[in-house]
Amino acid sequence: MENLALIESFSEFKDDKMIDRVTLMAILEDVFRAALKRKYGEDDNFDIIINPDKGDLEIWRNRVVVADGEVEDDNSEISLSEAQKIEPDYEVGEDVAEEVKLIQLGRRAILALRQNLIAKIHEHDNTNIFKQFKELEGELYSAEVHHIRHRAIILLDDEGNEIIMPKDRQIPSDFFRKGENVRGVIESVELRGNKPNIILSRTSPKFLEKLFEQEIPEVFDGVIQVKAVVREPGEKAKVAVDSYDDRIDPVGACVGVKGSRIHGIVRELGNENIDVINYTTNTQLYIARALSPAKIVSMEINDEEKKAEVRLNPEEVSKAIGRRGHNIRLAGKLTGYEIDVIREGVEEDVELTEFSDVMEGWVIEEFQKIGLDTAKSVLEQDVADLIKRTDLEDETVLEIVRILRAEFED
């Protein structure tokens, strides 16, 4: 009865959808064998018969009959007189199978056994969840906002699995409420202790690539291939695409009529500006396309050092650099080349670093962050725009412009 009662207390695990009958039986046997080993020192001579569906459990200890007074190991041997209490016909040398009741293990051992079983079940569940999500790395996934913390959002999927989206994996403009559905890509899955740590990302380039695959049939079908994706989440992205069918314009197919196809993707990404360009193995053409909408006058490429010197007319420079330098940075990431912009027709210019005696280093860095590293590159910009694009005070920007203008007036 004790065995039956204990097995019935495990009924909560029987219908666990993560565990099949064979696996549950193996876990139960492992747990019982561990308990027997603690009690008797060894478990090799025990037979365990489990039927979790019916709640049946039998444990049998097998021992060899030896003459009275010659027992050396109580676990594997039994004296003739003790054996004959079980069955009068036993003789020396015969095997004796004796049923062990769980109550013989002791109450504490039974409690420990149950706790061990629960731990094994959870460990098995966590291992299965880890394997399941490990196979989903890089794939789109949706889950519901369960809890909003300062540094992360905790999500739950339909199966109740916990997924974490850290603050730095959220698009800056993202704002979610509890119960809202969130879409991203499974970026990484790791085991921390025995618990899987699942990270969802909306800032990964893979998220944008998967959105293209979902929203654009030709990409999903493989007719159009996404060759490269670079992003500055929430601000700007560049996507290089190629087509296996010469009759299909990959850029046109991705963008759609009046941007109809890409509009949903842009909205999902918080109005992130997406440039879609044709991929090519021609490095010079690829860099020129990556710097769009700027029109390039000429270009010199150093393939060994992965550098490109691009010459543009002065009015094209700001287009190539882009707001806060997004365009030129992304073009460099997309092509893998360090891109230097040279203003065509401007013979004399001065690096901002030459003004370090009158300009503090952090001020120079603010201009360099938005792609302005020479005096004339700063002077070509509208003052109001400079104030918006940098984190500098109005008075500071005006003073810098005054200093730079004085240099050329002199």
- Taking only the tens place, the pLDDT of each residue in 223-278 is 999 999 999 999 999 999 999 888 889 999 999 888 889 999 999 999 999 999 99
The string of DSSP codes covering 332-383 is HHHHT-EEEEEETT-----BGGGGTTTS-HHHHHHHHHTT--BHHHHHTS-H
Average pLDDT score, the chain: 85
Give 77 or 140, the one with higher predicted confidence.
140
Give 119 or 22, the one with higher predicted confidence.
119
- Taking only the tens place, the pLDDT of each residue in 13-62 is 555 545 666 677 777 778 788 888 887 888 888 888 877 666 567 888 88
The alpha carbon dihedral of 356, 359, 363, 367 has a sign of negative
43 and 117 housed in the same domain: yes
Average pLDDT over residues 390-406: 87
Which of the listed residues 107, 131, 155 is the one where a domain comes to its end?
131
141 and 242 housed in the same domain: no
44 and 121 housed in the same domain: yes
pLDDT of residue 185: 97
- Residue 28 is assigned to a structural domain of this protein: yes
Read off the pTM: 0.66
Please state, in angstroms and rounded to a whole number, the distance separating the CA atoms of residues 326 and 273: 10
Residue percentage of the chain with pLDDT more than 90:
41
Q: Looking at residue 356, which CATH number applies to its domain?
A: 1.10.150
8 and 38 housed in the same domain: yes
pLDDT of residue 61: 85
Could you give the number of structural domains in the chain? 4
Please state, in angstroms and rounded to a whole number, the distance separating the CA atoms of residues 5 and 55: 8
pLDDT of residue 279: 95
Has residue 128 got a pLDDT over 70?
yes
Has residue 389 got a pLDDT over 90?
no
Position 289 confidence tier, pLDDT thresholds 50, 70, 90: very high
State both tokens at 387: 């104030």
Has residue 70 got a pLDDT over 90?
no
Has residue 108 got a pLDDT over 80?
no
Domain, as residue range, for 396 = 352-409
pLDDT of residue 374: 84
Burial grade of 53 (CB within 10 A; 0-12, 13-18, 19 or more): exposed
113 and 93 housed in the same domain: yes
pLDDT of residue 287: 95
Average pLDDT over residues 317-328: 86
- Residue 320 is assigned to a structural domain of this protein: no
Q: Looking at residue 173, which CATH number applies to its domain?
A: 2.40.50.140
